[in-house]
Each structure stands twice: as structure tokens, then as C-alpha cells.
């Protein structure tokens, strides 16, 4: 019998209902939503007690690898990163993690946990997992049903067989998101919200997936068997993995298995799937407003207003969501905020770049923002984390001019290495081999002015890169 529960943290969702805060380039699990930490960091801290939890496996995509690693370092935690070459929904991702966990420990008991949920009561969360442990060890797949606080239409529901409170009770059925009247009836009949988190023996989940979807299970098994490693992260092999059908774990296993049980739980839980849900779990002022940033309100109630820079004013509004980002503004009725996903889907069909990418682009070494763009020039703000080191590179069509704003820069230009401090600058001639590094202990920020006949992000000849990014990628500064 395992002495601890091994957490499997799912960290690959896009969170499009929280656009423009959450986008494909940096989804909601990596964004501080209710405090200073991201929900991914809060999830990791929730499973930090090594007396209860074993070594975590974080399942994410190659695109989010460096952000996940950076956020783990910030909270002084570590984990095994299992990287999907492309998203296949939660079914194949969970199966891959269970295969890896069972390989490490044949009788591993795993807690499959979302990285983007809010849980107020950490103690109740741990107690619920411990309540389900005996049933999981007996071969059940134990999900956690949340006692409803209102007739929510944004969650799936679980009907359990009647039994003592606190026990892992057999699941009679899972039901999809209902309308308001049906949700009210479900609450009267004792249904629970489906939290999407569950506890099971890794081998149990693997066996059920194999029994129900043998072709998909075989593809994922081969992809895990053919995995490679890169500086501590595990890369699932692309070719067999893409043969597995994109399916959620609910469709692949949970709604079809006869092994599902549920523990009734009260964690102060929310999936924070919409701005209405985010408003509900956030601290509010005397007018029931949630305000982040430089905000002014007058005669307004029940609003969620967030600005990342510009002063924003709201007058005479009720139940309104206003999100102000540098490149996008959203205004929506809070009670209809679930429809934001449809808006984003429409923008993606029309190839609107703001649908997927933030104006601030994150890289393993830091981030950059484009501040101005002309026919033959571009101005960027670049920030490099302590220890960050950009690629050693050159350009064919542009020269660059760097001015240090804060921090200390180590600059390589051909055979010359210089140290630059605030208000000092460097000229990078066209074709010169160059690199920017932050060898200090605080954030380095520079302003970069590019000038040339072509400013596309594919004008990069990479010579050396500590992050092992061999193929040139769309990147403003390497």
C-alpha cells in the first residue's frame, strides 16, 4: 500500500471564458486571479505536505513548459513535468500521467487535480481525499462532489446512491450542465456538483481506459514508452500520441465505468470558469464590486472591473464586467459572461490576433512587449529575469539599439562583452553576433529599437541557446 497520494496536476487548459485576461499564450492557470499567486501555484502549495502527498507530476504542453518551471521556482517547489506535444484533451493526458506513475510505483494512488480551480478550505480538501483513499485502494475511481450553494448551470452534476455522509458512495449517474429549473430540482434531490477532481489507483484508471478504448490506450502507452527527456522534463512522443482521440476523461471513462464513487465535499470550491464565478470567489467592497487596478466607480454595484494600466471609470452600472488590457477591452453583463467563449471562437475564426496572444509575450528568459511599430522600425520593452540569458544570435535585415532602464545587463557584441547599467546603451550592427544576459539579482529591463528593411520574427540566426530551442521560433528577442 502506498504511504502517500501522488498528485497529477492538469495544467493545459486555455480558459477562454476569461478572455482577455486568459488567452492561449498565457491561460488562466498561470494568472493571479484572486491574490498574488496563480491558481497553478496555489494548487501546487495545496499538495506540498509530503506526509500526505508524494512527488507531483504536472501535465502541461511544451508551450507552457518554461512558465510552469518559472512559477514552480517562485514558490520553491519542484515536480516532474510531463509535456504533451499537442493537446488531446484530459483523457489521454491523464492516462499518460497514470502510466508514468504506475511505472514508478505499481500500486501508486493518484489524485488527479485541475490546476485552475479555487479552493478556499485546504484542510477540508485534504480530509476529503483521505476519506476516499480506502475506496480508491479497493479499486474504485473516487470523484469529489461539491455540495451545491446555488442552482448553477455551468457545472455538471452527480447523482449518488444514498448512504452515510463522508463515505465514498457509488455514483448512479453523471449529468451534463442543466438549465436553471433542472439545476434547482437537482439540488432538491441531493445531487452534487462535479468538481472534475478524483482519486484512484493509477493501474485502475489504466485498466478502465484499456477496456473501454483499447486503441487510444495503446497509442498513449506507446507514446509514453517512446518518451524522451530534456533537462528534467519528460516529452511524450508525438507520432503515437496524436493517434489517440481527443476526449475528456468524463467521456472516455467516468461516464461509462461501473467503478465510480463520490465523496460529498465542501471545500469552498469553484472552477472559476467565468467572470461571474471569479466575482463570486473574490473579495468585494461595500457595493459588491471587485476592483483591480486604478478603478473609479460611482453608483455601481455587483461589478467586476480590472485594468492592467489605464485608469478606468464605471458609472451607474450594475452586474457589469469590464476588463482593460493593453490591447483589448471587454465589457459584458456579468450574468452572461459564459458567452465570452463564443466571442473568442468567432474572433479566432476571423484570425483576430488578440484572440490568442497577449501583448506581453512570455519567454523562458522573461518577456517582451511591442510598444510601437512602423514601416522600418519597431520599439520593444524587454524584461529579463535574474539568471536569464537570451540566445546568442544575429539578424540579416535589422540593426538594434538597446537602452538599459533598470537592472544590470551583460551584453555580448561579436568579440566584446560589456556591462551596462541604467541609462547606458549599446548599438548592435546588422549581422553582429549578440546576446543579452541578466547576471544580477533583480529584473533587467531594456528598451530595444529595431531598424531595418525587414522586421519579421523569423529573421533570427540562432547560434547558441541554453533553453535548447533548436528550431527558430517567433520571438521578438532571443
Interval 107-164: pLDDT, tens: 999 999 999 999 999 999 999 999 999 999 999 999 999 999 999 998 999 999 987 7
Angle between helical axes of 202-212 and 90-104 (0-180°, round to 10): 130
| Contact assessment for residue 145 and residue 195, using Cβ atoms and an 8 Å cutoff | yes
Confidence band for 2, pLDDT divided at 50, 70 and 90? low
Q: How far apart (Å, rounded) are the C-alpha atoms in residues 14 and 263?
A: 28
Q: How far apart (Å, rounded) are the C-alpha atoms in residues 431 and 434?
A: 9
Three-point CA angle 114, 120, 124, nearest 5°? 85
Burial pattern 411-424, b for ≥16 Cβ within 10 A else e, equals bbbeeeeeebeeee
What average pLDDT does the structure give for the chain?
A: 94
Q: How far apart (Å, rounded) are the C-alpha atoms in residues 249 and 206?
A: 12
* Residue 468, pLDDT above cutoff 80: no
Record the pTM. 0.89
- The model's pLDDT over 219-250, given as tens digits with 9 standing for 90+, comes to 999 999 999 998 889 999 999 999 999 999 99
Q: Which residue, among 206, 135, 123, 124, has the nearest Cα to 167 in the 3D structure?
A: 135
* Residue 190, pLDDT above cutoff 60: yes
Give the rounded percent of residues in the chain with a pLDDT score beyond 70. 97
* Residue 258, pLDDT above cutoff 60: yes
What is the number of residues in the chain? 478
Q: How far apart (Å, rounded) are the C-alpha atoms in residues 312 and 305?
A: 8
The pLDDT, as a whole number, for residue 476 is 42
Phi then psi dihedrals of residue 175, to 5 deg: -125, 150
Domains of the chain, with CATH numbers? 6-270 (3.90.550.10), 275-349 (no CATH), 360-464 (2.60.120.10)
Region 190-207: what's the mean pLDDT? Answer: 97
Burial pattern 305-336, b for ≥16 Cβ within 10 A else e, equals bbbbeeebebeebebbbbbbbbebebebebee
Which residue do the cell numbers 539599439 mark? 401
- The model's pLDDT over 313-336, given as tens digits with 9 standing for 90+, comes to 999 999 999 999 999 999 999 999
The pLDDT, as a whole number, for residue 320 is 98
Region 291-311: what's the mean pLDDT? Answer: 97
DSSP at 50 = T
Q: How far apart (Å, rounded) are the C-alpha atoms in residues 187 and 304?
A: 28
Q: Which residue, among 196, 190, 185, has the nearest Cα to 271 in the 3D structure?
A: 196
Give the rounded percent of residues in the chain with a pLDDT score beyond 90. 88
Phi then psi dihedrals of residue 265, to 5 deg: -135, 155
Q: How far apart (Å, rounded) are the C-alpha atoms in residues 86 and 419?
A: 40
Q: How far apart (Å, rounded) are the C-alpha atoms in residues 275 and 337?
A: 6
Three-point CA angle 243, 246, 248, nearest 5°? 140
DSSP at 66 = H
| Contact assessment for residue 476 and residue 365, using Cβ atoms and an 8 Å cutoff | no
- The model's pLDDT over 29-58, given as tens digits with 9 standing for 90+, comes to 999 998 899 999 999 999 999 999 999 999
Residues facing 301 on adjacent strands: 318
- The model's pLDDT over 358-406, given as tens digits with 9 standing for 90+, comes to 988 888 999 999 999 899 999 999 999 999 999 999 999 999 999 999 9
Residues facing 141 on adjacent strands: 260
The pLDDT, as a whole number, for residue 166 is 67
| Contact assessment for residue 117 and residue 195, using Cβ atoms and an 8 Å cutoff | yes
Amino acid at each position: 500500500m502506498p504511504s502517500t497520494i501522488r498528485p497529477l496536476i492538469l495544467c493545459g487548459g486555455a480558459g477562454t471564458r476569461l478572455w482577455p485576461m486568459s488567452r492561449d499564450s498565457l491561460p488562466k492557470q498561470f494568472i493571479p486571479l484572486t491574490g498574488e499567486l496563480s491558481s497553478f501555484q496555489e494548487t501546487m502549495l495545496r499538495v506540498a505536505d509530503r506526509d500526505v502527498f508524494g512527488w507531483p507530476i504536472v501535465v502541461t504542453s511544451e508551450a507552457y513548459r518554461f512558465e510552469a518551471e518559472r512559477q514552480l521556482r517562485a514558490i520553491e517547489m519542484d515536480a516532474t513535468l510531463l509535456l504533451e506535444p499537442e493537446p488531446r484533451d484530459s483523457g489521454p493526458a491523464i492516462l499518460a500521467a497514470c502510466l508514468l506513475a504506475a511505472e514508478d510505483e505499481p500500486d501508486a494512488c493518484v489524485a488527479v487535480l485541475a490546476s485552475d480551480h479555487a479552493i478556499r478550505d485546504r484542510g477540508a480538501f485534504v480530509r476529503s481525499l483521505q476519506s476516499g483513499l480506502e475506496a480508491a485502494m479497493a479499486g474504485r475511481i473516487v470523484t469529489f462532489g461539491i455540495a451545491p450553494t446555488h442552482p448553477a448551470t455551468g457545472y455538471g452534476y452527480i447523482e449518488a446512491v444514498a448512504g452515510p455522509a463522508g463515505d465514498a458512495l457509488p455514483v448512479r449517474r453523471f449529468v451534463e450542465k442543466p438549465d436553471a429549473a433542472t439545476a434547482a430540482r437537482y439540488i432538491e434531490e441531493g445531487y452534487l456538483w462535479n468538481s472534475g477532481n478524483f482519486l484512484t489507483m493509477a493501474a485502475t484508471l489504466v485498466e478502465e481506459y484499456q477496456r473501454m478504448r483499447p486503441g487510444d490506450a495503446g497509442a498513449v502507452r506507446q507514446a509514453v514508452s517512446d518518451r524522451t527527456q530534456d533537462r528534467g522534463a519528460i516529452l511524450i512522443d508525438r507520432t503515437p500520441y496524436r493517434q489517440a482521440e481527443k476526449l475528456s476523461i468524463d467521456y472516455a471513462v467516468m461516464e461509462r465505468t461501473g467503478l465510480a464513487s463520490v465523496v460529498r465535499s465542501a471545500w469552498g470550491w469553484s472552477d472559476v470558469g467565468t467572470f461571474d464565478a471569479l466575482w463570486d470567489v473574490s473579495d468585494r467592497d461595500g457595493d459588491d464590486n471587485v476592483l483591480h487596478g486604478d478603478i473609479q466607480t460611482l453608483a455601481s454595484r455587483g461589478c467586476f472591473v480590472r485594468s492592467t494600466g489605464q485608469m478606468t471609470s464605471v458609472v451607474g452600472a450594475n452586474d457589469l464586467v469590464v476588463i482593460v488590457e493593453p490591447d483589448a477591452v471587454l465589457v459584458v453583463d456579468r450574468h452572461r459572461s459564459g458567452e465570452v467563449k463564443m466571442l473568442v471562437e468567432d474572433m479566432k475564426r476571423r484570425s483576430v490576433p488578440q484572440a490568442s496572444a497577449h501583448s506581453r509575450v512570455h519567454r523562458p528568459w522573461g518577456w517582451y512587449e511591442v510598444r510601437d511599430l512602423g514601416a522600418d522600425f519597431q520599439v520593444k520593452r524587454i524584461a529579463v529575469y535574474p539568471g536569464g540569458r537570451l540566445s546568442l544570435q544575429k539578424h540579416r535585415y535589422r540593426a538594434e539599439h538597446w537602452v538599459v532602464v533598470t537592472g544590470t545587463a551583460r551584453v555580448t557584441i561579436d568579440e566584446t562583452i560589456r556591462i551596462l547599467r541604467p541609462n547606458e546603451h549599446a548599438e548592435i550592427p546588422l549581422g553582429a553576433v549578440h546576446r543579452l544576459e541578466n547576471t544580477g539579482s533583480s529584473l533587467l529591463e531594456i528598451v530595444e529599437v529595431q531598424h531595418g528593411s525587414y522586421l519579421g520574427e523569423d529573421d533570427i540566426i540562432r547560434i547558441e541557446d541554453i533553453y535548447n530551442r533548436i528550431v527558430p521560433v517567433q520571438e521578438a528577442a532571443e
